[in-house]
């Protein structure tokens, strides 16, 4: 296996950009679900869903990355990650594939319009560069 010894990531798409999340951080990936909005909550918290009897908050990175909210499509997914002993769902436009990187570079000051501190690095794949999301940072206040 070519990936042996290398960490695996899940490549997702938000807007036009490709991002990667460590597979280790991911609890599961589910289809879009009806989200119950929570009035007066933080702007990036879209609401909560019922994940087999558990209440899981859903976060949109579009707000964080300065993108307008778009209607959900058939390919919209919720990537449920483990964060500080809780589960949090991140809405992405699409989940592409599992990838490994032949090389990871430190993130630049900015990636497109997004501040570099949201990324732990830029990974190189056989078909281009992918920004690796820094979970703690993107989920923080």
Partner 1 sequence: MDSSFASEMAGLFLEEVEDQLHIMEQEILRLERDGASDETVQNLFRAAHTLKGSSAVMGFDEMKRLTHEMEHVLDQVRNRRLGVSTKLVDLLFQCLDHLRTLKEQFMAGSGIFVEIGAIVHELRNYAFGSEDQPERPKEAAIGEAVLCMEDPETWAKVRNAQDQGFSVYDIQVRLVPDCPMKSVRAWMIGHRLRSLGEMLLTHPPGLEELEDAEENGTVFDEESWPSELRYLLACQTTALHVEETLLTISDVAGVRVTPFPVWQREGAPVSAAAAPAVGAPAGAAPADGSAAGGASGASAHEGTGAANGGGAGAVPAAEKRKARTIRVDVERLEHLMNLVGELVIDQTRIHQVGSVLHHLYAADETVDELVQVSDHLARVIGELQESVMKVRMLPIDQLFSRFPRMVRDLAQSLNKEIDLVIEGRETELDRTVIEEIGDPLIHLIRNAIDHGIEPAEERKRKGKPAKGRLRIAAAHEENQVVITVEDDGAGIDVDKIKHSALRKGLISEEELKKLSDPEALRLIFLPGFSTASSVTDISGRGVGMDIVRAHIEKLSGVIDIDSRPGEGTRFTIKLPLTLAIITGLLIRLSDRMFVVPMSSVMEIVRVPPEAIQTIKGDAVVVIREQVVPVVWLHDVFRIPRMRETKRQLPIIVVGTADKRMALVVDELVGNQEIVVKSLGSYVGKINGISGATILGDGQVALILEVGGIGRWREMRAGRAS
Site residues, partner 1 (CB under 8 A): 34, 36-42, 45, 48-50, 53-57, 83-84, 86, 88, 139
CB of 53 or CB of 71, closer to partner 1: 53
Rounded Cα–Cα distance for residues 55 and 1 (Å): 38
**Alpha-carbon torsion 47, 18, 28, 31, what sign?**
positive
Smallest distance, partner 1 to C-beta of residue 108, A: 29
Q: Which residue has the tokens 């989920």?
A: 139
Smallest distance, partner 1 to C-beta of residue 56, A: 8
Rounded Cα–Cα distance for residues 113 and 29 (Å): 27
> Residue 61, SS3?
helix
CB of 23 or CB of 55, closer to partner 1: 55
CB of 18 or CB of 83, closer to partner 1: 83
Smallest distance, partner 1 to C-beta of residue 86, A: 5
Smallest distance, partner 1 to C-beta of residue 32, A: 14
Instruction: Kindly give, in sequence order, each residue whose CB lies less than 8 Å from that of residue 106, ignoring residues fewer than 6 positions away.
Output: 121, 122
């Amino acid at each position: 296996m070519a990936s042996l010894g290398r960490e695996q990531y899940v490549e997702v798409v938000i807007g036009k950009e490709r991002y990667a999340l460590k597979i280790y951080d991911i609890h599961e990936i589910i289809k879009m679900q009806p989200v119950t909005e929570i009035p007066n909550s933080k702007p990036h918290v879209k609401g909560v869903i019922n994940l087999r009897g558990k209440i899981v908050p859903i976060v949109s990175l579009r707000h964080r990355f300065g993108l307008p909210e778009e209607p959900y499509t058939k390919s919209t997914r919720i990537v449920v990650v483990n964060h500080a002993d809780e589960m949090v769902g991140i809405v992405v436009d699409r989940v592409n594939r599992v990838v490994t990187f032949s090389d990871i570079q430190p993130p630049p000051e900015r990636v497109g319009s997004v501040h570099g501190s949201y990324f732990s690095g830029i990974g190189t794949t056989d078909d281009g560069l992918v920004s690796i999301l820094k979970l703690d940072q993107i989920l923080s206040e």
